[in-house]
Amino acid sequence: MTVRFVGAGPGDPELITVKGQRLLAAADTIIYAGSLVNPALLCLAKQDAVIMNSASMTLDEVIDAIVRATGEGREVVRLHTGDPSIYGAIKEQMDALDKRGIPYEVVPGVSSFLAAAAALRCEYTLPEVSQTVIVTRLEGRTPVPEREKLAALAAHRATMCIFLSVHMLDSVVDELTAGGYPADTPIAVVQKASWPDEKIYRGTLATIARTVEEAGVDRTAMIVVGRCLDGDYALSKLYSPDFGHMFREAK
Ligand code: SAH
């Protein structure tokens, strides 16, 4: 029995992949990350499927549940929020299954940093603005390697998507400013991207902390920073008439 790790997407139940949806509908046991997976997705489950919320489980308990279910010949889906490769704690589960010789497959999902771009109607990689997206977080109880401190990454002034940090927005702003982003750099906070109660707060490094504090946002939010949120950019080469490529000759 192959265990399926499935990315549930950012919230909107229609943002799971077709493959993820099919596997979810066929699963005998579903173990979902209860803190962020939209429970609406569980409506896809078979009537007699066993559904477990991993929010209150330890790693060992999750692995035990998977091992027991596969041992009984059940199809198991482990449902992660967004894409499992981003802050998903999936590696330790895959390693535990490797140790036990249990095969698994990973089905990717739409990460919340991409749902945030859609909500903001922005392009992270604008020509002559930034061609780089940094996915990161502020240090919390999980340490961040010294060379990846926010201030160090800020030196690039690339587009940054900052997870798991909105409750420490003051420190985020301090580190970004110390690292080299000017105080008028645009920044947005997207709360619950793609959910019905999605909210967007926009400002600059100088103003955002106050706006977000007044709104009382303290969880499930993505911080997006960079000039890509401004209006200025160069037109792309890809669609420029004088730029030829494999599929189109220059005019
Ligand atoms: N694997 C997930 C991230 C899990 S870490 C993914 O790929 O999206 C949890 C963090 O993700 C939250 O603290 C928040 O920063 C972000 N997040 C998850 N869902 C979100 C959503 N719908 N809108 C905004 N941020 C979200």
Please give the class, per CATH, of domain 112-229. Answer: alpha beta
The separation between CA 44 and the C-alpha centre of its own chain, rounded to angstroms, equals 22
Give the pLDDT score at 133.
98
Do 130 and 117 contact (CB within 8 A), yes or no? no
The protein residue with its alpha carbon nearest to ligand 1, atom 2, reads: 82
Q: Where are the domains of the chain?
A: 3-107, 112-229
User: Could you tell me the CATH superfamily of domain 3-107?
Assistant: Tetrapyrrole methylase, N-terminal domain (3.40.1010.10)
93 lines ligand 1 (CB under 6 A): no
Sign of CA dihedral 104, 106, 80, 59: positive
Helices (H), the chain: 18-26, 59-71, 91-99, 112-120, 150-154, 169-179, 208-215
**Going by CA atoms, what residue is nearest to atom 9 of ligand 1?**
164
CB 193 less than 6 A from any atom of ligand 1: yes
- Amino acid of residue 202: R
Which residues of the chain carry a pLDDT beneath 70?
A: none
Answer whether 38 contacts ligand 1 (Cβ < 6 A): no
pTM above the 0.85 mark? yes
Distance CA 55, CA 18 (A): 25
Please report, to the nearest 10 degrees, the dihedral formed by the alpha carbons of residues 7, 17, 11, 73 taken in order.
-50
C-alpha to C-alpha distance for 92 and 133, rounded to whole angstroms: 26
Reported as a single tens digit per residue, the pLDDT across 18-63 is: 999 999 999 999 999 988 999 999 999 999 999 999 999 999 999 9
Q: How far is the CA of 245 from the centre of ligand 1 (A)?
A: 37
Cα-based distances in Å from 47 to 66, 79, 84: 19, 17, 26
